[in-house]
Amino acid sequence: MRMVETIESVRRAVQSASKPLGLVPTMGYLHEGHLSLIRTARAECDAVVVSIFVNPTQFGPGEDFERYPRDLNRDLSLCEREGVDVVFTPNAREMYPQGFRTYVDVTELQDRWEGASRPGHFRGVATVVTKLFRIVQPQRAYFGEKDYQQLKLVQRMAADLVLDVEVIGCPIIREPDGLAMSSRNVYLDDESRRRAAALFAALADAQRDLACGVRSAARLCTDMRAALDRVGGIAIDYVAVVDPESLEPVDVVANEARALIAAWVGGVRLIDNAPLVPPA
C-alpha cells in the first residue's frame, strides 16, 4: 500500500494501475461503514484508492471542523488490512491553493434538507468530490447511503458534468440497536447514545405503518416525530418523506419513497434515512 500526499504523486501512483479503478472518498476516522465501501470497491475493481481529507469547505461557521475526529495512523492500518492500493491524504493547501476561486453548485438538490440546515455544505462537498474525481480519475466511486442526499447530489453532478465515473451507493451499516454508523457517534455520551437509537426506531415505525396500509406522507412524518418525542432529549431538525431521486416532498407514498431524519441528540447532530416501499 502506498500513502501519498500530493496531487502529482497520486496521479503517478494510479497511472499504471489496473482498471477498473475504484475510489472511496472519506474524511477519515474510519469505521465499519467506510470499510464496507472499501470491501465493495475491492470486490468490484482491480485497484482501490481511498482518500482521507477533512474538507474545510463543507463545514459552516461554528461547526465541528477543528474537533472532527482524526486518527490517521489507525486509518492507514485499516486500509492496509483491507487491501487498499493507494491512500491519498492531502492537506487543505494542496486541495485549495492560494487564489482558489472556483466552486461547484448542484442547484435544487443542494437547497433542501441538509442544504437548508447547513448552508454552503453541499457546495463544499460537490467541489471537493469533483476535484477528487479529476485527480484520481476512477471508473467507479463508492458512497454510503447514510448520507443519502449527498449520494444523490454526487450522482447528479457526475452525470451533468460528464465526469465518466459510476457513482455507486452502498447500504447503511448499523450498530446492533440500529444506529447508523458515523464518525460523529464518538461524540455521544452513554445517555445520548441510548437515545440516538430512536432515529432508526422512528424509521422502522414508518415502514410498519406503510406495511399496514398508511400512504399519507404527513401521517408517516407525524408518527416518526411522535416516536422521537417519546424518547425525550431529542431536538428534531427535520423529518420528511421524499421522492428518492429528486428529494422533493411527496404527499402520498404510491411508489418507492425515502424517509429522512435529522436531529440533535445530546448536542450531536445525527442523520438517518430508510427506503419506504409499499407492499405489492
Q: Which of 3, 26, 33, 34 is catalytic?
A: 34
Question: To 5 degrees, how large is the angle CA 79–CA 64–CA 24?
Answer: 25
Grid cell for residue 28: 477519515
Per-residue pLDDT of the chain (280 residues; tens, 9 = 90+): 999 999 999 999 999 888 999 999 999 999 999 999 999 999 999 999 999 999 999 999 999 999 999 999 999 999 999 999 999 999 999 999 999 999 999 999 999 999 999 999 999 999 999 999 999 999 999 999 999 999 999 999 999 999 999 999 999 999 999 999 999 999 999 999 999 999 999 999 999 999 999 999 999 999 999 999 999 999 999 999 999 999 999 999 999 999 999 999 999 999 999 999 999 8
Q: Where in the chain is the domain with CATH 3.30.1300.10?
A: 183-276
Q: Where in the chain is the domain with CATH 3.40.50.620?
A: 2-170
pLDDT score recorded for residue 101: 97
26, β-bridge pairs: 52
Closest by CA position to 169, among listed 70, 273, 270, 29: 273
How many angstroms from the chain centroid is the CA of residue 143? 6
pLDDT score recorded for residue 32: 98
Q: State how far the Cα of 221 lies from the Cα of 267, in Å rounded to an integer.
A: 23
pTM of model > 0.85: yes
Grid cell for residue 101: 476561486
Query: Positive or negative, the Cα torsion across 110, 111, 117, 123?
Result: positive
Q: State how far the Cα of 41 lies from the Cα of 140, in Å rounded to an integer.
A: 8
Angle between helices 121-136 and 148-160 (to 10 degrees): 50
| Cis ω before 249 (30° cut-off from 0) | no
Q: State how far the Cα of 53 lies from the Cα of 31, in Å rounded to an integer.
A: 15
34 is catalytic: yes
Q: State how far the Cα of 127 lies from the Cα of 200, in Å rounded to an integer.
A: 31
Cα-only R_g, the chain: 19
Class of domain 183-276: alpha beta
- In angstroms, the Cα distances linking 136 to 15, 88, 112, 199 are 9, 9, 30, 36
Tens of pLDDT, residues 41-89:
999 999 999 999 999 999 999 999 999 999 999 999 999 999 999 999 9
CATH of range 2-170; options 3.40.50.12780, 3.40.50.1000, 3.20.140.10, 3.40.50.620: 3.40.50.620
Closest by CA position to 184, among listed 25, 27, 69, 31: 69
